[in-house]
Each structure stands twice: as C-alpha cells, then as structure tokens.
Structure 1
Amino acid sequence: MSKSRTVRVAVSGDLHFDTPQTTDLRKFFAAIDGEADILALVGDLTTHGTPEQVSQFIDQMDGFDLPVVTVLGNHDFEAEQVDESKQVLRERGVHVLDGENVVLDEVGFAGTKGFGGGFGRGALGPFGEPLYKQFVQAAIDESLKLESALRTLRAPATICLLHYAPIPETLKGEPEDIFPFLGSSRLLAPIETYRPDVVFHGHAHVGSPSGRTPSGIPVYNVAAGLLERHTGRSFRIWNVDVPDRRGQAAEDTGKDPR
C-alpha cells in the first residue's frame, strides 16, 4: 500500500493592504508560517492595485519562505496596472493564476479572478445594449479561463481559487441586491465538469463561510474579515492528503538522491 502524507494549505483573501502605516500583515504571515506548508490567496491583496502598493505588500512578506499562489481581485485591478503588478509578484516568486494552474508539493491549484453577473435564472444574459453584452462577455471569458486551467491540471489533489463566488450560498449575509456583483454561476460549469476537491473564493466580506455546488463540491468563502468574525483568525487551514514520494528516488535506484 502506498504511503500518504498531509500538506497543510493556508487560505485567505481580501487582505486589502493599503500602506505600511495603516496595514501591518507581518503577524498574519508569521502565524501562517508556523501552521502551513503553502499559502493560497484569493485576491484583493491591495486596496488599489498600484505596482508600488503591491511592492509594499511584498515587503510585508519579508522572511516568509512558504510557496505562495494567488489570484487577483477587483481591488487589484483598480489602478489598471495589472501586468505590472503581476510582474512584481512573480519576481518575488508568487504564482499568480489568471486562467493558469500550478502544482506545489503534489497539490494542484487552478485559478482565475472570476466576475459578476448573477446566478441561475437571475443571471444577466448577453442581450440589448453593448455595455450589457460586454459585462456578460467578461463573465464568460473568466469561465473559459477557469475551464482551461482545470482541464489541464494534473495532480493528486486539486484546489480551485477564485475571487468572485461561483454559488450564491456563500454570499448569504450580504444584501441580495448586490449578489450579481459578487459572483456568477457561469463559473460553476467548469467546476462541476472537472471537479476539483475544493473551491475557495473571497470578495463577500459579510457572506457565509461555506456552501456546496449542486454536485456536492465544498466551497469556502475565505475573505479575511469574515474568517476573523467566525473563527477568530484571518485564514483557514485545509489539510490535503497526497502520495508520499519522498525517498522514492533512493528506493528506485539504490542511491542517495542528494
């Protein structure tokens, strides 16, 4: 029987870093460093998404050595300098997913920002004025990016990262009038088709902590403020069992893999 081991993934989002004078995330990173093997973030790293702000966010991670994977959120798009911000993050070694995937320590991550548009029969359709069609097309494009990321992901355990919600259940607590701006059921189709083990999103700061897709895939809202109110801390630990391949090279070859 093959051995397995547990990888601890810390998940959070909506940190909304502003300036070093107003936002201190060093305790956040220090707490995770002692409890997890990987950090996954679901967007809104900053308040306005300028490259300078992203660089200051990175400075808060000084001494933090765990692998980091993230998607961006709507706040990270505010300055309209997304490519520059992505570059700053990637130079620090952060894996930024925008329709891509990555495998870290046998755990596969697929992610994209997502978009709004509403849910089920209440979802906005591509009809009428061009602006409505553009809005809907943005949601469709994000769904297609997620489909590509999930379809090509190969890993023993798989996690889907989004900023916007794919189901309305994790939005409960927010005013229903703004649900269409908090997520889209168009994100649900690739999730149900390719079936990641779990889905994490943020964006809904006063929503609900958890829900499930129609087929039963768990979905968690990990906005930091929501987690703090419900659990007393601003991140969730997700334990993942993966095959233990450590030492396999030595066993196969009879040699020390070093």
Structure 2
Amino acid sequence: MTDEHAKRGIDFDKPNAARVYDYLIGGQLNYAIDRMFAEKILAVRPESRELALLNRRWLRRAVRFGAEQGIRQFLDIGSGMPTVGHVHEVVQAIDPASRVVYVDNEPVAVAHSEIVLKDNDNAVMVQADAEVPADVLEHPTTERLLDFSRPVMVIMAAFIHFVPDSRDPAGLIAAYRDVLAPGSYLALSSGTFEGQGEEVRRAAEMYQKSGTDVVARSKDELRALVGGFEIVPPGIVFTPEWRPDDPAEVGDHPELASQLALVARKN
C-alpha cells in the first residue's frame, strides 16, 4: 500500500462493494481484490453484470421522474463510483441549476468523484458514513448546497441491503425523512430473495464471508422501512418494472433482476 493509499484509507485486504459494483458495470475504478471477488460472483451468477446495469437504469429513470415532479435537489446516499449517466448528468440535462450531493465513505469513489465534479458548481461529493445521518446532513458542503426547507429527493440505490436489522435501517431512513420538506421523495432499491433461485443466496453468502453485510428483503420488509412516505405507482416492483421507458425492456422474467425498487413521497 502506498502512502497515498494509506492516507486515503484504501483497504486492499478485502473487496469493497462499491468497487465490485464498478467492475460489474464496466468501470475502471477497482483493484485486483475487487475483480477477483467479482469473478467469483459471476461464476455463481453470470447475469450479475446485467443486474447491476438494470439497477443503474432504474436509478436514471427514478431521478428523471423526480426532476419531472419539480425536484431540483438530490442527495445520493452511498453513491459509489462516478459513471456515465450519473445523477447530476440526468437531472442537470433537465435543469442545469439542479443540485446534487453525493455521499460515500469509499476513498476511491470520493477521490474520483471529486475529479469528475471539479468543474461542476452544482454537484459535489461528501465523504461521510451515511449510517450517521448527522455527519451527512450537517456537513458544511451539504448545508451549502441543499436547502432542506424545500423538497429534496434522497436516493438509496443498492444501499439499504448493506444495513442489517441490527443497525436499524428503518431508523436510518427515518432520520433522513424527518429533515425533508413535504413534497420530497425517496428513491430506494434493494436486493431480494423473492422469486430468486439458490444462486442468489449463494452470492449473498459470498458477500457475507468477504466481510460485507448483505440483507435481502421482501416487498413487505421494504414497505416497513419506509413509514412516513407514500409509495407512488407502480409500487414496490423489480427494477425493470419501475416505469420502463419501453414495456419491451421488462422482459418475461423481471424477477431475474434480483432487486426491488420503489419511489415514495413525503406528504
């Protein structure tokens, strides 16, 4: 490990979920330990690359929906690596004045996001532990860019399944909800075992053994996490089913996406 890696807190001893995800969607911001683990996952679940891309496509549709509802402020929790079609690109194409705060504690994601965003005054990266909401919400950068007296869309894409019940995911979501103005939205996707085969459970066990908590949740369990929000149509569905741009994109087996998604409104 170089001094720079040590300074940034980059850990080469185990794979990192954000960097594994980056590798699966074709990114370059990952290391050998991440690629080795991702290839093991692909051996168990060869569709994993497409599943990760399905989640990215859902995210883009969800934030575009938020922008179409008039949302101009976005808080992306556990945002991961900067990729083509990231949140700020989608929403600033609709309104260049849209403001985006990305949050992650993965040093590589933070470093590269800072590079990608250096010329964008309305999109920033905050390095913080998203499971400590005060560290995110009271961060000077967050306070400078976002006005919580006005509606905000909070994004938790493929994030909450890394928060086990022992760390109170419902309380975590509620902490963010409580600061939001009426008319705000939550966009959330999560891994699930509903409609899945044994290979999905095996992949989840591999994450657990690598030191990363993964909790797949059912529709009912996700609904219980988002109290205080009103889930908008089409409800809690597999990612390809959430307001597809083309019905043909859903396919005959949307459950193969292995992730459920929802968008909900605070009234």
Normalised to the residue count of structure 2, the TM-score between the two structures is 0.37
Where is the strand percentage greater, Structure 1 or Structure 2? 1
* Greater C-alpha Rg: 1
More RCO (CA 8 Å, sep 6+):
1
Where is the helix percentage greater, Structure 1 or Structure 2? 2
Normalised to the residue count of structure 1, the TM-score between the two structures is 0.38
